[in-house]
Amino acid sequence: MGRRLYYITVISTIVGVVLSSVFFWLFYQVETKNIEREFQDEVNDKALSYYKGLQFHLEGVYALKSHFDNNEILTASAFANNSAFILSRHNKVKALEWIPKVAHQERSAYEQQGKRNYPQFSITERLASGIMVPASIREYYYPVYYLEPLEGNRAALGYDMSSNAQRREVMYRAIESGNMEISEGVKLVQSENNDIGVLALLPVYQDLAQPKNELNLKGFILGVFDLSSIFSSIYRGGENTELALNLWDTTIPAKRTLLFARQIEGEAQQSLLPQYRYTRSVMDLGGRRWVLEATPSELYFSERRTQTPFWVFVAGNLFFGLSSWLAFVAAKKNQQTQNALDEKNIQLNEANEKLERLTKTDALTGIANRRYFDEYFQQEFLRAKREKKPLALLVLDIDAFKAFNDTYGHQAGDRCLRLVATELERILKRPADHIARIGGEEFAILLPNTNNGEVVARQCKVAIERLAIEHKSAEHAKIVTISVGVVSGCKLENHTPDTLFNLADSALYQAKSAGRNTVRAISVLPNPKPELMTLC
């Protein structure tokens, strides 16, 4: 009877735990699906609200165009008054602009007229460095002629829209379609921080009865939109710890562009749930397709969960309390066994790591040895070649070190090697920079993402001189010095680690031949032929 009761108790416990777990899982999954559906509905609402908000503010551009359709000439003051009224209603529009088509022969007249309204006015373009300069000669210019508001936007006055490829592309799309076209995300000329915005261009034609082309074009009404301020209108309180939102331009699927991002604040950023990421189309308008991508955090789900699954689980397990206790005892014993096994594994891993460190460290100097250097050099060389980044390699040799050993003894020689290694290691500042002892008195330094290793080489040379280690038997100096060969490469397509090392070794040979205590640098050009760049 006792054995039978024992079996029944065990089976009942197992059945109870299984049933409790199944019901907990079912309730939990249903609740998760409901929360996920609520999350998707919220994202859908945000996408729709953002689209409606954007459409509302785009109406401001159409409202301004109506004045140009009804008036042959619109003065600067009339433009300012009309624009100010429109901006008071559409307060998310950063600026409204009138951009006339100006033929080259009309440029001087337009600039003189523009100076009457804005004394510093001239037709300009922006260099790659960000400096605004007079626009280059071209058949037609499309300068920002009228602008409202001026405050915070003066840098855009006179800027030739056609001087920029992104802006020029959307202009020609607008000319061809005759409708409003929206640009991809652009860095705004009037922004000191190079903020990303979008431009909405609406063409204005001389004669609406004539074909819509550049010959018939009068100019453009342009609206500058601050995406972040429009985006802020769809926020709700507290969601900055629950939702990460990204607005993407997916007009070209293979080249999607991030227009705006609002990341989760604080520690919640580490608890995003990418498996629930949801993407919703925002708009397909003006030649652009935008989508809203949202990712919830664990906090989003946890704040919407109820205690129902938990209490279902607790009630089931309380009913089978004795069996739960027996299961706990067995689990505890199993855990103790597992802990002992884990401890053994940790000790074994520590021993393996210690052994690996010993195989990669030079026992005398404490820096990396030749084996580790070869592995690291191969890895960084392939990375620089793949990512098309520069790489510098220094090979250093202590001058007349054999004579130093003969004069002062091998113990003094070992101390000298340790001092030199420590001083050279001190020169390196970046985590990626590595030094290794690759021979008796020979060292190597690898500098990833460096196109001028000669600077570090000179620092190494001066640092060793400052040690002022006495070397009476040296012919070139009475202190310990080093000679350094440097190779710096920006284009490594035609090289291998061996050829790069041979170039550095060749530079070291030149330094030795030049009288020691010198640096010789070789720069690797795009062709396989190296060029001796500098001497010191």
What ranges make up the beta strands (E) of 330-401? 391-398
Whole-angstrom Cα distance, residue 412 to residue 397? 17
Alpha-carbon distances, residue 396 vs 2, 47, 240, 405, 509 (angstroms): 83, 62, 54, 18, 10
CA dist 28 and 307 (Å) reads 10
| CB half-sphere exposure, 417, CA atoms < 13 A | 24
Among 86, 121, 84, which residue's Cα sits nearest to residue 100?
Answer: 121
Strand (E) or helix (H) holding 247: strand 243-249
Give the active site residue among 148, 184, 380, 441: 441
Q: Is position 353 annotated as part of the catalytic site?
A: no
Amino acid at 329: V
Residues with Cβ within 8 Å of residue 9, at least 6 apart in sequence? 322, 323, 326
User: Are 259 and 290 in contact, with CB atoms under 8 Å apart?
Assistant: yes
Instruction: Give SS3 for 194.
Output: coil
What does DSSP assign to residue 275? G
Q: What angle do CA 464, 468, 470 make, to 5 degrees?
A: 120
3-state secondary structure of 364: coil
How many angstroms separate the CA atoms of 316 and 313, rounded?
5
Token pair listed for 120: 């510093």
| Contact (CB, 8 A) for 231 and 247 | yes
Distance CA 237, CA 242 (A): 10
Catalytic residue IDs:
441
